[in-house]
Structure 1
Amino acid sequence: MQPAEFSKELDFQRLLSRFPELLVGGQIDPDQPRRFVLVKQEQAIGHEDNEARWSIDHLFLDQNGIPTLVEVKRQSDTRLRREVIGQILDYAANCQVSWTWESIRSAFESTCADNEAQHDVVLAEFLDKDVTVDQFWSNVKTNLQAGKIRMLIVADHIPTEVRRIVEFLNRQMDPAEFLAVELRQYTAGNLRTLVPMVFGQTQEATKKQVSSSGPRWTEGRFIEALASKCSSAEVDVACALIAWMKTSGFPLIYGVGREFGSVYPLMKVQNVTINPVYLSTDGKIWFQLKSLSNKPIFDDLDMRRELLHRFAAVNNSNLTQQMLNGYGSLPYGVVARDPDGTKKLTDAFEWIAEKVRSVPQA
């Protein structure tokens, strides 16, 4: 496959609107991968008496209600250097006084209506099961008032000087975040693949994010939290899965969630993180198959079907095909009630691991 440019910036923008997964939330925050829902394309931003002085290419929200401003530029656009930095900073500085959580909610509902979707259903599928719609919009309000926003420059090529500026700004910003996403396109005949990569995550910025989230969970703390709310049989399921992860050869990543702990094996294919399943102290195993749709191996729908089929082998799992383009969970209790449940899950994890190991690393 050969590198190829996007024919029009509008095509680039439409692609992001349809597939927010291209913003690679797993690279933005490997510990708690970001998921995004589109609020509006070309969201107006006011200044003083002008209610729509500017418009940002895309406004997204992540699962924590953090407004994410996305400005798109093609490599051929000469403004992709310092000008775009000032442009998105202008937007960020003014959106706090121009937007309210109500106006963001209204824009989101309008976008859903334009796409013939029910906004409450879209949110229900997007949010974690322990987060209510009211809590989500309350988080949006709090983040907006606190200036906790995320700025993303997305381009098919991020020049070195832009990367350095983004890294510098991201080190200085708190609680805001400034990153760049390079989205390269490769084609061969009628085939096309997209390879995203995030720039701007320095060691200092990563430490800042961790400190604002919570202390990193450990195995002992994870098991203790689980034992406080689950039966011994359920804890045994989690312990068996963690034991498999520890012998898999992949690094274990414990999350930094304040309320719930998480853990997953860090699998990478050609430097792209593959994280379809993670364990949580909320009593469930969580699946995020939607995030795989633009990842190596599992960008193939049949591969995602096979992955789901293997986990759905647990009796009464209730894992359905709808999860292929979304998210879902499997309680430890359901696994514990199946005499072969734990083995079915470790076999499913091993199947994923074998697929990852079979791909030559870059």
Structure 2
Amino acid sequence: MGIDMTGQPVFLLGEELNALEPAAFDTEVEFQDLLARHPRILDFGTLADGRPLRLFLVAREMKVPTEGESASAFWLDHLFVDADGVPTLVEVKRASDTRIRREVVGQMLDYAANGARYWPAALLQRTFEETCADDGAAISDVYGELLDGQSPDEFWATVEERLGAGRMRLLFVADRVPMELRAVVEFLNRQMRQVDVYAVELTQYRGRGDHRVLVPRVHGEVATAAKTRSRSAGAGQKWTRADVDAALGSRSSEDRQAGLTLLEHADALGRPVANKAAYPSISVYFPATGKQVPVWTLSLRDSPGKDDLAFSFQSITHHLGRDAASAFADALPDVGGLGQKLAVQREKGFTGWPSVPLSALSAQPEALRQVCAAVERLMDGGEG
């Protein structure tokens, strides 16, 4: 009981008895490399459909910009993702590093906030595929394990949406987790509904030759259990176009017609992509300057009055630049509070997901036409 905390050896029994003694990691780099090569060490918990969790490495030393890609940046130790599209941010510290007590928490929250702003789907996909290539892994084999009938574009769009909604895991990994960090982890879990926070204590034992034993101990699982159950109640369904059409059928005639107008426009000029969410949802990619750019997501929530159309300014800015995003914002209608949200986005560099209620668009047909015209200008390079 509790052998990973007592300092007592672990005994490996083969032809003879081999005592494995607790041993520190020589360097933080060694510690980080171990997790990058063997992410199964961190595979605790389950996916939304009950399958065992498995993490896939997106990047070691993932760049976290503070004001856009060209600005100064921080570096996250590891970024992983699971088959549900939930990002997992990992910071690694040895117990000898005094920052493990308090400073690392502020660091991690900084990474989570800025990563959600500056990691669009295209960047994540490119980084992941480059990491696979660097590690000598066949991308088709890795995607075969990671994707559940989705295309890579669909999967990474889901990851981007998770980030935008603040749905992620934060993992503090250390060879010894101080009580102060455990307390902060429990507190953050109680306060943050969408984010799961864990501290993982990884104890290493070494014996004769190359024998090593790694014993992970997870702190924070009890605090996350209740909110994980509540989230998983409807979070795992993948919605089709037919599902979205059916959901629109239960709306008012005006809202239904507005939704169908948007989808018909998408069918004619873009590529609709079904989403995996707790409610019927569909995103649309439109071609612009030779790229497929996710432009908007229609979400039909539990209450008809909460249906909305959200614009993916984060991806538009990443793919087409801030000037194109600014021109697109200027072309959108000022209805349903959208104008105020766009003003905030202008100040923040167009990195968010401002939305407008579907009912606000259905009440003003001219506003709906303005949205479609703005998308067409974006496809033409923002001219007109």
| Structure 1 length-normalised TM | 0.56
Q: 2:233 aligns with which of 192, 208, 214?
A: 214
Q: Which residue of 2 aligns with 1:71?
A: 91
Correspondence for 1:101: 121
Q: Which residue of 2 aligns with 1:87?
A: 107
SS state of the match for residue 104, structure 1? helix
The aligned residue for residue 74 of structure 2 is: 54
CA RMSD of aligned residues (A): 2.5
- The corresponding residue for 2:201 is 182
SS in 1 for 2:78: strand
Aligned to 1:153: 172
Q: 1:104 to 1:51 in 2, by over 3 A?
A: farther
**Are 1:119 and 2:146 matched, yes or no?**
no
Instruction: Give the one of 162, 184, 190 matched to 1:143.
Output: 162
Tell me, in whole angstroms, the C-alpha distance in 1 between the residues paired with 2:177 and 2:46: 16
Does 1:197 pair with 2:211? no
For 2:107, give the aligned amino acid: Q
Contact map agreement 1:170 1:200 (CA 8 A) in 2: yes
1:43 to 53, 62, 82: 62
Alpha-carbon distance between aligned partners in 1 of 2:181 and 2:71, rounded to the nearest angstrom:
30
Q: Percent identity?
A: 46
Structure 2: distance between partners of 1:4 and 1:131: 43
Q: Deviations over 1:101-145 (max 9, x none)?
A: 1111110011112122232321112344x4553442232122122
The equivalent of 1:24 in structure 2 is 43
Q: CA deviation at 1:27?
A: 8.0
Letter paired with 2:138: Q
**Contact 1:124/1:133 (<8 A) preserved:** no
Structure 2 Cα separation of the partners of residues 115 and 201 of structure 1: 31
Structure 1 position 165 matched with structure 2 position 184: yes
Counterpart of 2:52, as a letter, is P
- Equivalent residue, structure 2, for 1:8: 27
| Secondary structure at 1:51 match in 2 | coil
C-alpha separation in 2, matches of 1:63 and 1:152:
17
C-alpha distance 28-89 of structure 1, shift in aligned 2 (>3 A):
farther
Query: 2 CA distance for matches of 1:70 and 1:52?
Result: 20
Q: Which runs of 5+ in 1 are unaligned?
A: 216-256, 259-362
Letter in 2 for 1:120: S
Distance across 2 between alignment mates of 1:181 and 1:140: 23
Larger Rg: 2
1:26/1:209 CA distance change after superposition, 3 Å: closer
Q: What SS does the corresponding residue of 1:197 show, helix, strand or coil?
A: strand
User: For 1:80 and 1:132, how far apart are their aligned partners in 2?
Assistant: 39
- Return the letter of the residue paired with 2:85: G
1:183-232 CA-partner distances (Å, limit 9, x unpaired)? 110111121100011111234x31111111018xxxxxxxxxxxxxxxxx
User: In 2, Cα distance between the equivalents of 1:61 and 1:85?
Assistant: 21
The answer to whether the 8 Å contact 1:184/1:196 transfers is: yes
Paired AA for residue 90 in structure 2: V
Aligned length: 217
Taking the TM superposition and a 5 Å limit, the aligned residue runs for 1:230-249 are none
Give ranges in structure 2 of 5+ residues lacking alignment.
Answer: 1-19, 235-276, 279-384
Cα 1:85–1:28, aligned 2, differ >3 Å: closer, same or farther? Answer: farther
Question: How far apart, CA to CA, are the structure 2 residues paired with 1:77 and 1:162?
Answer: 13
SS in 1 for 2:35: helix
Looking at structure 2, the residues matched to 30 and 66 of structure 1 have their Cα atoms a distance apart, in angstroms, of 13
Q: How far off is 1:30 after superposition?
A: 11
Preserved CA contact (<8 Å) 2:201 2:218: yes
| Residue in 1 that maps onto 2:53 | 34
Letter in 2 for 1:56: L
AA aligned to 1:164 is: A
Question: Which contiguous aligned blocks of 4+ residues in structure 1 show a shift greater than 6 angstroms?
Answer: 27-30
**Is this contact kept in 2: 1:27–1:197, CA < 8 A?**
no
Within-5 A mapping of 1:264-279: none
- Paired with 2:48 and 2:166, the residues of 1 have a C-alpha distance of 19
1:53 is displaced (CA, Å) by 1.3
Offset of residue 3 of structure 1: 0.7
* Residues 300-319 of structure 1: pairs in structure 2 closer than 5 A: none
